[in-house]
Amino acid sequence: MGHKHYTISENSRREYTSGFLIDLMTTQGHKYPVVLEGADTDLESLFVYMMSKEYIDLDKNNFYTPTTKGIEKLENLKVRYEEYLAHFDLFCAVDLENGEFAFENIFNYEDEEWEQYINDERFTDLRISVAWFKKINPSDFVFLSFLKEGQFDTERSNWQFDLLSGLIWEQIEEIIDSAIQIEELGYMTQENEEISGMRVIEDVIRQGAKLSEQLHKQEELLKCENGDYPNDYYDDDDDDTHTVTAYREYYDPYYVNPIWFMF
């Protein structure tokens, strides 16, 4: 399962950045004329691609504007992001030796303390292994985690060039290459029974699904009680429009929402 030397295709890069740019245009009010100026000129090839895919069109003032197809693409990105936060981000820190998730203690730490806790060396990031198991493109998970962490920062000088340069995509490829593979999760018991990596990741995914449901219920309870607690599990920015797939469907480690295979 999985492979080394993972490469993100040029087409995939364009699809990721198209969704990101449409979000900037629709939710953050970024406007781009057909004749781009300054650092925005680095985005020209992307706008050409988006026009060819009918994600955008030109309005009467010759500004790029998202089409119905473009809005559908943005909605797809949003649902993936919500699903990622709700069901997969907690696999970023698993203590394999003790069978524990760092997220079991997320409500016990302030933000800065949480970052220190979650980076403890005893925790292993299994998100890529989970993606391979589910047959989800692992670059989807890394791209979404980059969005969550603000890696695509439009306040940074020359972000347009960074968005399309190879560096950030090489970082994603490196993360996937260096991630623990499913086969590496296998081990021998004291009774000399061989436990395969597939069996380990199945068990981890089942545990993670149950934990996710528990954490969401706990967060809702805390919100109802006083709305004041150290940390968030599911950071939805108080947006009640999101739709998250029923948790119990994820008790089946082989369940995959079709949204991951739609563009």
DSSP state of 181: P
Distance from the Cα of residue 128 to its chain's centroid: 11
The confidence score (pLDDT) of residue 2 equals 55
The confidence score (pLDDT) of residue 34 equals 96
Q: Residue holding tokens 């995914």?
A: 205
Note whether 216 and 246 are within 8 A (CB).
no
Full pLDDT tens readout for the chain, 263 residues:
555 589 999 999 999 999 999 999 998 899 999 999 999 999 999 999 999 999 999 999 999 999 999 999 999 999 999 999 999 999 999 999 999 999 999 999 988 899 999 999 999 999 999 999 999 999 999 999 999 988 888 988 889 998 888 889 999 999 999 999 999 999 999 999 999 999 999 999 999 999 999 998 888 887 776 655 556 555 554 454 545 556 789 999 999 999 999 86
The confidence score (pLDDT) of residue 255 equals 95
The confidence score (pLDDT) of residue 142 equals 96
What does the block give as tokens for 139?
A: 């670059």
The confidence score (pLDDT) of residue 238 equals 46
What does the block give as tokens for 153?
A: 């920062």
Q: Where are the domains of the chain?
A: 77-261
Q: How far apart are CA 208 and CA 87, in angstroms?
A: 8
- As a whole number of Å, the CA-based R_g of the chain is 20
Question: Closest Cα to residue 7, out of 127, 132, 173?
Answer: 173
Whole-prediction pTM value? Answer: 0.87
Determine phi and psi for 195, rounding to 5 degrees: -105, 115
The confidence score (pLDDT) of residue 96 equals 96
Q: State in Å, rounded, how far the first CA of the chain is from the last one.
A: 24
